[in-house]
Structure 1
Amino acid sequence: MLFVMATSTLSRCIIFMSFLAVGSCKTTSVLQTTSGPMQGSIHSYNGSDVYQFIGIPYAAPPVRELRFMKPVPPTAWNSTFTAERFPPSCMQYLFENDRWLIPKESQNISEDCLYMNIYVPRATSSAEPKAVMIWIHGGGFTAGQGSIFDASYIALRGDVIVVTFNYRLGLFGFLSTEDTNARGNYGIWDQVAAIKWVSENIANFGGDNSKVCIFGESAGGNSVGLHTIIQENRGRIHRAISESGAVYSPRAVAEQSQTVARRAAEMLNCSTRSTKDIVECLRTVPAGDLLKVQGAASALSNQSGESFVNHMGPVVDGDLIIDHPVEILKNRSSEGFKFFQTLDILAGTNIAEGGLMYWPLMKYQHQYHYNISEGVPAGVLCDVVATAAAEEYAVSTRGLIKDAVCKQYTVRDGSLAEQGRSTVDVYADLQFFIPTVQTLDAHYTPEKVGRSFQYIFTHQPSFTWIRERPPWLIGANHAGELPFVFGLDAMYPPTHEKPRAERKLSESIMTYWTNFAKTGTPNGDPSLPIWPDYEPTTSAYMNLSLDLGSGVHLFSDRVHFWTRVVPDITSTVIEGQTDCACTIALGLFVSIYVAFATGFVMWL
């Protein structure tokens, strides 16, 4: 056995566990890592043991001269490191609505935050190493922490090792001057470092470093997508699960990063004569001051106000991300595409991802004379949402695309509620659903070098992150699948009832996810429906609901619009066959980032 249990008062443990489903009374044996020896703790979940190693440093604290630098290995230690305490969260604003999920220690924020947590189920034999799943949290690249996700339940359910970790966020993780003074992507480099640490050390925890699956949600899902084309990961990751995020997502790559850096410098009275001056000054300002200006520095507006474009996150730096991800995948001879093709990929979205627009659309109620609890009128769709969607495209095409979006998503003779659902679907499609389809289409090859799978999560959870959810917003909102991936006991409030039907769905999803991590296919459990491979000709998918079942050609009309109609418009205008006199509406659109930054959304 890999672990030797040590306990002082076993009888007290048994008494304690008779009252609670979770107990912790033991420590693991000492393990060796490249950083030094360490020891974790043993926790019992309904009678099954999980070995937890909490707060393992995988990189040196990125402070002082290491701010805005790639991560470096942590200083090695000789005495046994006790891995039992959650680390602080990386620099961010913690929202009151989230605190019940965040361990007490992680409710502190610090630049010294590059730590990971490892969850190992039961006793592990070195002769039978376990598959490994590495979780990348979401949060719009400005918020989130690994410690919010107790991976014990999914580790036990699938008999896999699960790793969670923190990475630098906001300006600390993604400040870029778009040159050698600050290339950016420090948060993604942190993720690469965490993956590397796992690859080099997980065998000592009973893991198989030839069966590593990365998975993540939202910004974490976008990160997963980026890692599938990053050469540094070759040989270290073998499968990938993207939940509500994709390498094709507009939010996977940020724009105008140098402008954001310059604005931050101006707000902190730093010289902006050169990018070198900007970086040298920002490297010395107190962390709290840098955090304070982050939101304002990145809130760039355009003719219609804030759009769907991301201004804080990964960038094309010519080093880690050598070209725009879409261009890499279009070039099938590129090294990035060749690596991408070798991986097994499972990706999907939730049916009501557009619920993220609920708060931004509130501000138009007076102007357009509607009550958002009843729905959203077509005027808001056409004047506000379609305009914002069109601004992702060249100026010469925006007028035609705006009109096309308006026509496509207007519900003829429908109710205000139906129009509301269709309106928020614009955001869902543009940011989540269509990029997922494009990623799966790009991944597929007839030879099936790497296998592809798609899902749609449609069940409306009995617990929702949206307070005062309107009745017209039906189905799973953004992040709604997370309690079902990690277990209801891990992510539902302790006092919230956990219906048996939802527990069964969660168990099914955990089984699908962990089977995929182990074998490259979610199938293997005879009690679950067969999940068909994704191919562009059939677009097969699994509907994750209380009534599991597969289907084909998910939302085919919306896929056709974004992958055929819109490209036809852009190519026609570019070729000069259409004279587009584009008039951009001046209605102010509040971006989803602003909704997140003000604390309305948990994971973006």
Structure 2
Amino acid sequence: MNGNRVVINVREGKLIGIIEENFLDGKYIAFRGIPYAKPPIGKLRFKDPAPPEPWSGARDASKYGNVAVQTDIITGEMIGDEDCLYLNVYTADVESWRKRPVMVWIHGGAFSLGSGDASVYGPDYIVRKDVVLVTLNYRLGVLGFLNLNDEVAAGNQGIKDTIMALRWVQKNISKFSGDPGNVTIFGESAGGVIVHYLTLSPLSEGLFHKAISQSGVVTNPWAFIELTNKATNKGFQLAEYFGKATSDPKVAYELLKIIDARKLRKAEHKLQTKTERLQKIIPFPPSLDHKSLNPVITEDPSILIHRRAKVPYIVGYNSCEGSYLVNSTFGYLNEETFKEINSNFKKTIIPRILPTLSQIPITIEELRFLYFGNKTVSEETLINYADFMGDIYFYRGIMEVVDAQMSSDANEPTYLYKFSYENEASFLRKILNVTLPGVTHSEELFYLFYSHMMKDLGLPPFAPDSKDYKIMNRLTQMWTDFAKTGNPTPAITNLTPIKWTPLKIAGNVYDYLDIDIEPRMKILRKEEQRCNWKNMKHKL
């Protein structure tokens, strides 16, 4: 240790980290911008990640690495770099003989945006709970998920990046006083989906020991795409956009391999139709990658979930996920759009849901009536629309996974939660202009992480006597207790006053923790769920 610098040796070379003030109390050591794979550039574009090269001399680890190529949500400009496979490690101490549990965060952002840096995911809240926190970047959009159904570009490169990062953790985390034998992966939205895929894929077996999926699982309709039709494959559409209409994957690959990365990602957005935007279709999500030598996803998610997460697993959602999708910030809802939806309600439904409707069976009109009755879709019925979107995009898929996790031969606990703590002045609600009641998608993140964006905007941290502080303290306590023990409430305390019990195996009700200022265990009956369309139809 030298002043505010800390030097350690990992497999690839020497790192110089930096001691930072934790704005709550104490200090932590940050090691930022550590390469966990070779830069995925040139011949490595669209390929599986390769192990990192060693370096000579000491590497400065005080600054974050490049973020993946993406659109800046504030300015709308293209930012980032293809050379983006970096991770960050935050620890209280590197000299402790006692190894701490490790928590590896996988960020969300529709497989299209985001990074592991502190602009959103500041470590201050979590690292003070005696765990080592790792955050990471992975490839996004076409660069992370191009699948031409051929070994030249077989898909899911972004998920494989996270697996490479977990391998790096296994090799190196003990140098940061982390325990490679006690690793928890956790993520939200697209990050929650990746966490769930990792629990189901043989490729990541043994790299972690517990998992948390927040508001995202593999059965959400935006979390997977079938690529059987070349005409609708966005990869071939991109090749055509850049002047080469072809159905030959090798020809498309040779072209896409040399196009400027930012131009590629810009074109990805330009190719989206108005209907696709209305249906919130993600151009490049995960897909079957059976043409890969090391596939991550070998079956449709509806079959895959029956393998079950075979580690202790927390899964849950926020009380009004859908308000994020219907708020005015995204600009998709206006009088013209309402007219379009009311004349053809099917336009609002992501195509992956349509086979489900015919299986129930329920017509589009009956489905619409379940949510809107005789009213039209308008500013006045936005809460109905938010409920509808929340059920389609989040709740139905999450409950399908919960059902699979409850099957009779499950041997590891699954904990279900609903995050209900509402704060009308929350940072995210302000940014997104969400006015509908309930907790919107990703709002809980600001109680797990100290967003340095807030700090940059001069917003004060939570006051120690505030409700926000209490929720932050409770959420980080349960998440880190789970990482330490596999049980989110190993002891009843003022902070965790309720025993969070797991789902009952082969039960016919869902036991869940309602996370609010007064947390409570509650029961949801299978037949009473709004998103159980079959049952709701019978009630009509």
- Classify the TM-score, shorter chain: 0.7 to 0.9
**1:476 has 2:423 as partner:** no
Aligned pairs for 1:203-602 (under 5 A) are 203-256=174-227, 258=230, 259-270=233-244, 272=246, 274-299=248-273, 301=275, 306-318=278-290, 319-330=295-306, 337=307, 340-355=308-323, 356-359=325-328, 363-365=333-335, 383-384=344-345, 388=349, 392-394=353-355, 397=358, 400-410=362-372, 419-446=381-408, 448-461=410-423, 462-467=425-430, 473-487=436-450, 493-496=457-460, 498-499=462-463, 500-525=466-491, 526-527=493-494, 528=496, 529-535=498-504, 536-553=507-524, 557-558=528-529, 561-562=532-533
SS where residue 251 of structure 1 aligns?
A: coil
- CA 1:383 to 1:270, structure 2 compared with 1: closer, same or farther past 3 Å? closer
Cα offset for 1:180? Answer: 2.3
- CA 1:385 to 1:454, structure 2 compared with 1: closer, same or farther past 3 Å? farther
**1:41 has 2:10 as partner:** no
Name the counterpart of 2:96: 125
TM-score for the superposition, normalised by structure 2 = 0.87
* RMSD of equivalent CA atoms: 3.2
Q: C-alpha distance in 1, partners of 2:524/2:461?
A: 35
Cα offset for 1:39? Answer: 2.0
- CA 1:213 to 1:98, structure 2 compared with 1: closer, same or farther past 3 Å? farther
* 1:85-123 deviations in Å (ceiling 9; x for gaps): 111211111122799xxxxxxx95110111000011246
Cα offset for 1:70? Answer: 0.6
- CA 1:298 to 1:231, structure 2 compared with 1: closer, same or farther past 3 Å? farther
- CA 1:314 to 1:491, structure 2 compared with 1: closer, same or farther past 3 Å? farther
Deviation larger for 257-266 or 357-366? 357-366
Q: C-alpha distance in 1, partners of 2:173/2:513?
A: 32
* Alpha carbons 1:488, 1:506 under 8 Å: kept: no
* 1:123-154 deviations in Å (ceiling 9; x for gaps): 6523x211111111111111101113444223
- CA 1:199 to 1:367, structure 2 compared with 1: closer, same or farther past 3 Å? closer
SS where residue 343 of structure 1 aligns?
A: coil
* Alpha carbons 1:488, 1:498 under 8 Å: kept: no
Q: 1:159 aligns with which of 130, 150, 159?
A: 130
* Alpha carbons 1:171, 1:294 under 8 Å: kept: yes
Structure 2: stretches of 5+ with no match in the other structure: none
Deviation larger for 178-187 or 211-220? 178-187
Structure 1: stretches of 5+ with no match in the other structure: 8-25, 100-106, 331-336, 370-378, 568-604
Q: C-alpha distance in 2, partners of 1:469/1:88?
A: 26
Name the counterpart of 1:191: 162
Cα offset for 1:160? Answer: 0.6
- CA 1:72 to 1:543, structure 2 compared with 1: closer, same or farther past 3 Å? same
- CA 1:387 to 1:152, structure 2 compared with 1: closer, same or farther past 3 Å? closer
Cα offset for 1:448? Answer: 4.9
SS where residue 113 of structure 1 aligns?
A: coil
* Alpha carbons 1:157, 1:511 under 8 Å: kept: no
- CA 1:113 to 1:320, structure 2 compared with 1: closer, same or farther past 3 Å? same
**1:31 has 2:1 as partner:** no
Q: C-alpha distance in 1, partners of 2:434/2:357?
A: 39
Name the counterpart of 1:84: 62
Name the counterpart of 1:14: none
Q: C-alpha distance in 2, partners of 1:401/1:244?
A: 27
Deviation larger for 188-197 or 40-49? 40-49
* 1:486-538 deviations in Å (ceiling 9; x for gaps): 14777575325735111111100000111111111110242212112123433
Q: C-alpha distance in 1, partners of 2:376/2:244?
A: 54
- CA 1:300 to 1:209, structure 2 compared with 1: closer, same or farther past 3 Å? farther
* Alpha carbons 1:410, 1:422 under 8 Å: kept: yes
Cα offset for 1:416? Answer: 7.9
Q: C-alpha distance in 1, partners of 2:467/2:376?
A: 33
Q: C-alpha distance in 2, partners of 1:34/1:437?
A: 42
Name the counterpart of 1:12: none
Q: C-alpha distance in 1, partners of 2:378/2:274?
A: 32
Q: C-alpha distance in 2, partners of 1:97/1:422?
A: 31
- CA 1:171 to 1:466, structure 2 compared with 1: closer, same or farther past 3 Å? same
* Aligned-partner residue type, residue 153 of structure 1: D
* Alpha carbons 2:93, 2:176 under 8 Å: kept: no
* 1:524-562 deviations in Å (ceiling 9; x for gaps): 242212112123433111112222222110785335624
Q: C-alpha distance in 1, partners of 2:474/2:434?
A: 27
Q: C-alpha distance in 2, partners of 1:362/1:431?
A: 17
* 1:343-402 deviations in Å (ceiling 9; x for gaps): 111011111111112236864425758xxxxxxxxx957943785257622399399331
* Aligned-partner residue type, residue 241 of structure 2: M
Name the counterpart of 1:73: 51
**1:57 has 2:35 as partner:** yes
* Alpha carbons 1:317, 1:323 under 8 Å: kept: no
* Aligned-partner residue type, residue 246 of structure 2: T
Aligned residues: 518
Name the counterpart of 1:182: 153
SS where residue 400 of structure 1 aligns?
A: coil
Q: C-alpha distance in 1, partners of 2:377/2:190?
A: 33
* Aligned-partner residue type, residue 209 of structure 1: P
Name the counterpart of 1:6: 2
For the pair shown, the structure with the greater C-alpha radius of gyration is 1
Deviation larger for 266-275 or 216-225? 266-275
SS where residue 105 of structure 2 aligns?
A: strand
Q: C-alpha distance in 1, partners of 2:356/2:393?
A: 20
* Alpha carbons 1:543, 1:550 under 8 Å: kept: yes
Cα offset for 1:169? Answer: 0.5
* Alpha carbons 2:221, 2:350 under 8 Å: kept: no
Deviation larger for 117-126 or 231-240? 117-126
* Alpha carbons 2:70, 2:262 under 8 Å: kept: no
- CA 1:282 to 1:76, structure 2 compared with 1: closer, same or farther past 3 Å? same
- CA 1:522 to 1:285, structure 2 compared with 1: closer, same or farther past 3 Å? same
Name the counterpart of 1:587: none
Q: C-alpha distance in 2, partners of 1:71/1:210?
A: 24
SS where residue 252 of structure 2 aligns?
A: helix
* Alpha carbons 2:275, 2:347 under 8 Å: kept: no
* Alpha carbons 2:345, 2:364 under 8 Å: kept: no
* Alpha carbons 1:349, 1:455 under 8 Å: kept: yes
- CA 1:300 to 1:268, structure 2 compared with 1: closer, same or farther past 3 Å? farther
Q: C-alpha distance in 2, partners of 1:244/1:208?
A: 27
Q: C-alpha distance in 2, partners of 1:162/1:95?
A: 26
* Alpha carbons 2:106, 2:186 under 8 Å: kept: yes
- CA 1:421 to 1:123, structure 2 compared with 1: closer, same or farther past 3 Å? same
* Aligned-partner residue type, residue 279 of structure 2: S
Q: C-alpha distance in 2, partners of 1:537/1:396?
A: 23
- CA 1:562 to 1:208, structure 2 compared with 1: closer, same or farther past 3 Å? farther
